[in-house]
Structure 1
Amino acid sequence: MWVEAADVGLRLDTFLVTRLSARSRTGWAHIIGEGRVHLNGRAARASERVSPGSRIEIWLPAPPDQATAPGDGAPLSVLFEDSDVVALDKPAGQVTHPAPGNPTGTLVDALRARYPDIVVGDARRPGLVHRLDRDTSGVLLIARNDAALRALQRQWSDRSVVKEYLALVVGHPQPERATIDAPIGRDPRDRRRMAVVDSVRPARTRYETQERFARATLLLCVPETGRTHQIRVHLASIGYPIVADATYGTRNVDLGRHFLHAWRLTFRHPLNGARQTIEAPLPPDLAAYVELLRRA
């Protein structure tokens, strides 16, 4: 976890309450006192003040029943699998991994049930290299062994993975093809949201118009960085929020989710280095809405 400009001057325990909200300030102070929180590589004190660019690491052991449970057996849509990787088509509405308020029923629970041999990485996030927002559907890549996990993590770190999303936005963006280059950080007015702010963490998103409708546009979006809610924040910042995104726009259409889909993912296979592309078609609800717009 990185400290952003808007967080400057906060006590460490207060910062953790603000950013994570899973525990009280006293609870975080206790965890810090146990040496489970490091600030820039060293054990931290609860009273320390955070500064922009500082790195905070937290070690929280998973409860045994959640870390080792076989999962709830929820169905998985598998796009590709071999001995090194699994590519899933995550549905909208499903949380990727356990988190405060969503301890069970996640994609990770279903993953454990179907692939109990995947035990690499964090016990609560076995094999996960990246994540998708709860209401974002599409391609999610999982590593099946330590070597694959390390190789994929390197690719995410050096930004050689190409992530392509389909987003339906309100209005008609001009120009039709552009790059949004604007740093993203925690919204100082609402800590639950992200926003374009002065930040030490740059963010870049390329977009290109695919199809125009009467009052909306289907875009292909390629994030070059991986900030929280990046595509949603960037598009809203230039005046074209994603359709049905109540957080960064308005719930102007009752889709039951925002119109953002992780359509295609291109990476180097961790075993042989060959370029590989995994594609997830638009889910039926989004495809049906596009057809409705075409007929309007």
Structure 2
Amino acid sequence: MGITFLNNDNEELDDELFEHYKFISPKGQSIVRVDKFLMQLIENTTRNKIQQAADRGNIFANGVPVKSNYKVKPFDEIKVMLAHPPFENRVDPEDIPLDIVYEDDDLLLINKPVGLVVHPGHGNYTGTLVNALAFHFENLPMNSSNRPGLVHRIDKDTSGLLVIAKNDNAMALLAKQFEEKTTEREYIAIVWGNIKEDEGTIEGNLARHAKDRMQMAVYDDPAIGKPAVTHYKVLERLGYVTVVSCILETGRTHQIRAHMKHIGHPLFNDARYGGDLILKGTTFSKYKQFVENCFKILPRQALHAKTLGFEHPVSKEYMRFDTELPQDMAECIEKWRVYSKSHLLED
């Protein structure tokens, strides 16, 4: 029976879970409690530690959290997921090109491309932004998670601006601005549907989805999750999709993705939140082919971190940086413009 590790492409801002072990019980597996099952397979652990992991909801059977008395059956997939990467300090310098928008003695701004994971995690020990930073810069300060230079993060398949601290003073003062919500962060997104209001605010605590731990969900109960506020404004209506600007007041895990789904407008081609299905439109085969072509042009969630503003930690000058939309999003929007002009679309 082998151990495999999850490929962690989920760039979270907080409350991460990393898969430490995954076991597939064999065909002849006898019925046994999951804590005893894991005791036989995981070295250097105790039954008490396994039971504690189960109590925290960190042991999964076939994707569902289970208690320590769960009975393992043949062909069950058992995962142990914990809140820290098993090898969190492992960073190998790699010569990965960086698109540096601005740099001085205290910080730098990077325009992160789609597909670049921000920091190492299980399955992603190489090829990340942190690996690139370790190669190009020496003695970057560590953040509270022991990750060099990182002040904030964005998802692997979200493009756009990130600020990197180059010394401890910059790290502390920039992190304080993010914590106190004084930074300016604007994202551009394409969402499914025609949003009725020209602008609005989405509020609601975010926490992991009760059934799908890889999703975040909105909860009305203030005791669940963390407060999250997203301000949105319609930029362009394109029939079955809408281009919106999202201003973050808070920076929670998958905040825009979860908030937009919550109001019924998932991000276009966001597979994790259901946006990779044809959610609005007709049943005509030509329309279906059009949407599939858009998915091919934009093979990821339609989200770009366009604008970032903050006070410089040393000069105290307010700095505001802006980027153009990446080619895949720009091409997708243009295709929808052409389609919406040549077809009579319904809301």
- Asked if these proteins are the same fold (TM beyond 0.5), I'd say yes
Q: Does 1:248 align with 2:273?
A: yes
Counterpart selection for 1:223 from 248, 273, 288: 248
Q: Alignment partner of 2:307: what SS?
A: strand
Q: Does 1:271 align with 2:314?
A: yes
Counterpart-to-counterpart distance in 2, 1:242 and 1:57: 27
Residue 287 of structure 1 deviates from its aligned partner by 1.2
The alpha-carbon distance between structure 1 residues 47 and 99, as it changes in their structure 2 partners (threshold 3 A), is closer
Q: Alignment partner of 1:22: what SS?
A: strand
Q: Alignment partner of 1:261: what SS?
A: strand
Q: TM-score normalised to the size of structure 2? A: 0.68
CA contact (8 A) 2:94 2:135 kept: yes
Which residue does the alignment assign to 1:79?
101
The alpha-carbon distance between structure 1 residues 173 and 47, as it changes in their structure 2 partners (threshold 3 A), is closer
Counterpart-to-counterpart distance in 2, 1:290 and 1:200: 34
Q: Alignment partner of 2:175: what SS?
A: helix
Counterpart selection for 2:134 from 106, 112, 118: 112
Aligned pairs, number: 261
1:1-296 correspondence to structure 2 within 5 Å = 19-23=17-21, 30=45, 46=52, 62=88, 66-67=90-91, 69=92, 71-121=93-143, 125-197=147-219, 198=221, 199-252=224-277, 253-254=295-296, 255-296=298-339
The alpha-carbon distance between structure 1 residues 30 and 181, as it changes in their structure 2 partners (threshold 3 A), is same
CA contact (8 A) 1:120 1:144 kept: no
CA contact (8 A) 1:135 1:258 kept: yes
Which residue does the alignment assign to 1:8?
none
CA contact (8 A) 2:192 2:275 kept: no
Letter in 2 for 1:246: A
Counterpart-to-counterpart distance in 2, 1:105 and 1:59: 16
Counterpart-to-counterpart distance in 1, 2:243 and 2:44: 47
Q: Alignment partner of 2:101: what SS?
A: strand
Counterpart-to-counterpart distance in 2, 1:206 and 1:158: 17
Residue 284 of structure 1 deviates from its aligned partner by 1.1
Letter in 2 for 1:109: N
> Structure 2: which 5+ residue stretches go unaligned?
1-15, 23-37, 58-81, 278-294, 340-347
CA contact (8 A) 2:99 2:112 kept: yes
Counterpart-to-counterpart distance in 2, 1:58 and 1:229: 19
1:205-239 Cα deviation digits (max 9, x unpaired): 00000111121111000121111101000001111
Aligned-pair Cα RMSD in Å: 2.9
Structure 1's consecutive aligned runs of 4 or more residues displaced over 3 angstroms after TM superposition are 23-31, 45-51, 56-63, 119-124
CA contact (8 A) 1:178 1:206 kept: yes
Counterpart-to-counterpart distance in 1, 2:96 and 2:112: 12
Residue 294 of structure 1 deviates from its aligned partner by 2.0
Counterpart-to-counterpart distance in 2, 1:177 and 1:76: 35
CA contact (8 A) 1:29 1:46 kept: no
Q: Alignment partner of 2:308: what SS?
A: strand
1:86-124 Cα deviation digits (max 9, x unpaired): 100001111100011211100111111112342443685
Counterpart-to-counterpart distance in 2, 1:176 and 1:102: 40
Residue 295 of structure 1 deviates from its aligned partner by 2.1
Q: Alignment partner of 2:245: what SS?
A: strand
